[in-house]
């Protein structure tokens, strides 16, 4: 078997770039483009990985196993039923998994999972860097790929040796990669928030102010109910039933001081304890009432 990498070539009838490996053609996109050359490098990385393990690839009696595409399909079906909230609807983690597995599918979808080694994973890392993704995002996406393979091992779809090889690939380190760093997320300045408050309905303004005071997430303020707020002490404690670590059995507590309490009280007085404090219907009714009042004022 030749050790010379297959060449990057032009397919004249279509204008696409291609590389041919063992009689099989891989089309890479428009010839001469940077994207097609990146894909060429990925295919060659896979080819090189196979070259490094000729014994594994040449044994006719050894099964090649399922394809990467098949593993992705089965794992994604699992994720849709495993990563669900209390309402049994898929969480955002399912979407994250979908985007993480997309480069794996594009570059190695037709590859046998048994041949997916460390160099292949490094090739995907390099591809993600070329797409302009941040270092932290790339490390997160690579971990999702490892998680998919780990699930495949637990289902006896993937040899455990494949997972061990992937674990040897280190995450990208700060200052030692071309991937850029993301700026830390900071609080929005009050000077940007205050002008917005008079322009929105009172329930929306209240939610904005509560987030600013307590640091709770948007999803947590939207689903606030009186029955989930402990008003025993001077500082109230809000315990949302749904949060990011609920599946670990953790309890999340959000402390609400006097300013937050003053914002909440008008919404709690006329509400059933089981009802949501901030209703889109109420906000829309108040917005429409303000618009009618403005029209009447102009008419007068």
Q: Which two tokens stand for residue 295?
A: 């029209």
Spatial CA neighbour of 114 closest among 179, 178, 46: 46
B/e letters for 116-146, b = 16+ CB within 10 Å, e = fewer, are bbbbbbbbbbbbbbbeebbbebbbebbebbe
By the 8 A CB rule, do 190 and 270 touch? Answer: no
CATH number at residue 260: 3.90.15
- pTM to 2 decimals? 0.64
CB-neighbour burial class of residue 100 (10 A; exposed 0-12, middle 13-18, buried 19+): buried
- Strand 24-30 and strand 16-21: the pairing is antiparallel
Q: How many domains does the chain have?
A: 2
- Please check whether residue 134 lies inside any domain of the structure: yes
My answer on whether 128 and 44 are in the same domain is yes
- Please check whether residue 33 lies inside any domain of the structure: yes
**3-state secondary structure (DSSP) of residue 20:** strand
Instruction: List, for residues 198-232, the tens digit of each pLDDT value.
Output: 888 888 899 999 999 998 888 889 889 999 999 99
My answer on whether 113 and 247 are in the same domain is no
Sheet holding 254-256: strands in order across? 229-230, 236-238, 254-256
My answer on whether 137 and 230 are in the same domain is no
- Please check whether residue 1 lies inside any domain of the structure: no
- The pLDDT tens digits along the chain (300 residues) read 456 788 899 988 889 898 888 777 888 889 999 888 888 887 777 666 555 444 334 333 334 679 999 999 999 999 999 998 777 888 889 999 999 999 999 888 888 999 999 999 999 998 899 889 999 999 999 999 999 999 999 999 999 999 999 999 999 999 999 999 998 888 888 899 999 998 888 888 999 999 999 988 888 898 899 999 999 999 999 998 765 555 555 678 899 999 999 999 988 887 788 888 888 777 777 777 777 777 776 666
- Please check whether residue 175 lies inside any domain of the structure: no
- Please check whether residue 174 lies inside any domain of the structure: no
My answer on whether 13 and 150 are in the same domain is yes
- Please check whether residue 95 lies inside any domain of the structure: yes
My answer on whether 28 and 84 are in the same domain is yes
DSSP state of 115: G
Domain that holds residue 290: 190-299
My answer on whether 156 and 20 are in the same domain is yes
My answer on whether 133 and 264 are in the same domain is no
Mean pLDDT of the chain: 85
């Amino acid at each position: 078997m030749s050790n010379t990498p297959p060449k990057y070539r032009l397919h004249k009838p279509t204008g696409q770039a291609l590389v041919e490996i063992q009689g099989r053609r891989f089309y890479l996109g428009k010839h001469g483009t940077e994207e097609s050359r990146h894909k060429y490098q990925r295919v060659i990385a896979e080819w090189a990985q196979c070259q490094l393990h000729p014994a594994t690839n040449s044994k006719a009696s050894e099964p090649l196993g399922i394809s990467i595409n098949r593993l992705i399909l089965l794992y994604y079906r699992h994720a849709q039923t495993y990563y669900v909230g209390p309402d049994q609807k898929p969480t955002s983690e399912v979407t994250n998994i979908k985007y993480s597995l997309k480069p794996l599918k594009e570059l190695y979808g037709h590859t046998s999972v048994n041949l997916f080694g460390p160099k292949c994973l490094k090739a995907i890392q390099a591809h993600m860097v070329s797409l302009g993704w941040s270092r932290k995002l790339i490390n997160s996406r690579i971990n999702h790929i490892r998680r998919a393979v780990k699930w495949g091992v637990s289902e006896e779809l993937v040899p455990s040796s494949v997972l061990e090889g992937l674990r040897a690939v280190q995450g990208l380190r700060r200052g030692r990669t071309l991937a850029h760093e993301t700026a830390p997320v900071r609080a929005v300045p009050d000077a940007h928030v205050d002008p917005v408050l008079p322009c929105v309905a009172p329930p929306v303004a209240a939610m904005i102010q509560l987030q600013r005071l307590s640091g709770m997430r948007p999803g947590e303020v939207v689903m606030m109910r009186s029955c989930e707020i402990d008003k025993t002490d001077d500082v109230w404690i809000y315990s949302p039933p749904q949060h990011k670590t609920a599946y670990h059995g953790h309890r999340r507590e959000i402390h609400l001081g006097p300013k937050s309490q003053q914002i909440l009280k008008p919404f709690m007085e006329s509400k059933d304890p089981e009802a949501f404090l901030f209703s889109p219907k109420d906000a829309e009714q108040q917005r429409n009432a303000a618009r009618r009042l403005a029209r009447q004022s102009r008419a007068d």
